Every structure is written in C-alpha cells, then in structure tokens.
Amino acid sequence: MNFVLVQPTYFSTIAQYVAIAKSDQIIFEIEDNFQKQTYRNRCYINTANGKQLLNVPIQHKKGIKQKTKDVKIDYKDNWRKQHLKSLKTAYSSSPFFEFYIDDLLPLFEKKHTYLLDLNIESHLLIMDALQLDIPFKKSKNYITKTEYLDLRHLAIDKNKTAYNLERYIQVFDQNNGFISNLSILDLLFMEGPNALNYLENQNLIF
C-alpha cells in the first residue's frame, strides 16, 4: 500500500496532487504547529500579469502557537469574493472553467470557521472533479518517524525545488510562458477530464 503524508492545503499545488493521484491512502497532518507563509492558507493562480497569490487570512494569536487543526479564518475582509473574482478574471476564457465553476461556488458561499475544514472541502471538490476515490484520514498525534511517503514539505511556499512538470497549454502562455506547479485549479480549468491522466503521467522525484 502506498500511503502519502501531506499537509491539508488550500487548493493544493499540482505536485501535491501528482503524489496523491499515485497513492492508495492519504494521511493529513493536522497536529503540527501552524506555519505562516505556507500553502496551508494560500495558493497561486495564473493571470494576465503573471503568478498571483490567493491568501486566506487567519486569526493570529500573539505569542501562542496554534495547531493546524485549531486555526480559525479571519473574515474582516471579504476574501471569498476577492478569490472568486480573481478566478473568474483569470480563467473565464479557459476551456473548462464553465464545466467546473458551479461545483466550486458553494465553497466560496460557505463561511468556514476553521481553515482545516476549508482545506478538506477544497480537497474533496478537487478529488470529485478528478474522479479520484482515495480515502484519507487525519493524524491523531504529530507524526515524527513514519514509513509513509512524507511529503509535508510540499506545503512550504519557500521550497525552491523545481518540479519538472510537463508543459500544458495555459491561458496566458503568450504573456507569461509556462508557469509550473500552480494550484491544481490551473490544471483543472485547462485540461478538464484529462487532468488526472496528466497527473498520473508525471515522473516527479520528491
């Protein structure tokens, strides 16, 4: 059995879904301490101006470390409206935007209290879109030593590993060239039902 240990992140990177697509079961690490500037609460999309950050604001507790499972979302600003507007602006002309957007809308209409719940729901939406049925479970304690394929580092935004993903056509190729390892949403809106085939054909060394 191929078990993969990952962080529950917000519309995760393509590299993370390459690993997930080839796994038999997913273990989400939720007992770790939350780290800022990671994919736990952010993703990147492709726009006319290049790579754009979508960030989910969280409630910070000064001087107190929070576990990933305890982090609450901050709704002072209407980030859901901003994210949805950014996605529409970036991908409305993509081949499969209309095919998937109606399934994504409920996520942006719901007011999740916890970041973890938002991330798990975003994951389930993507798995449904990919037509992948891979079970997952959440860690009960922080995992130190493990026989699982430990890919928790994929959540680190500052991870400079250049994953050699195959090129696929992107909306703004003429402006930006190919931008690798964006949010899975980029691949989904561009490749549609072929997205799973793309993920399974990637030979990444993690």
How far is the CA of 129 from the CAs of 3, 6, 36, 75, 115, in angstroms? 22, 20, 29, 27, 21
Taking all residues of the chain, what is their mean pLDDT, rounded to a whole number? 95
Per-residue confidence (pLDDT) for residue 160, from 0 to 100: 62
Burial class (CB in 10 A: 0-12, 13-18, 19+), 132: middle
Distance CA(189)–CA(107), nearest Å, equals 17
From the CB of residue 197, how many other CB atoms can be counted at a distance below 10 Å? Answer: 11
pLDDT digits (tens, 9 = 90+) for 101-152: 999 999 999 999 999 999 999 999 999 999 999 999 999 999 998 899 999 9
Angle between helices 115-130 and 97-109 (to 10 degrees): 160
Residue 52: phi and psi, rounded to 5, are -120, 135
- State mean pLDDT over 73-82: 97
Per-residue confidence (pLDDT) for residue 161, from 0 to 100: 65
CB 125 within 8 A of CB 104: yes
pLDDT digits (tens, 9 = 90+) for 18-69: 999 999 999 999 999 999 889 999 999 999 999 999 999 999 888 788 999 9
Domain boundaries, the chain: 3-200
Per-residue confidence (pLDDT) for residue 206, from 0 to 100: 76
Per-residue confidence (pLDDT) for residue 142, from 0 to 100: 95
pTM of the model: 0.95
Whether 81 shows a pLDDT value over 90: the answer reads yes
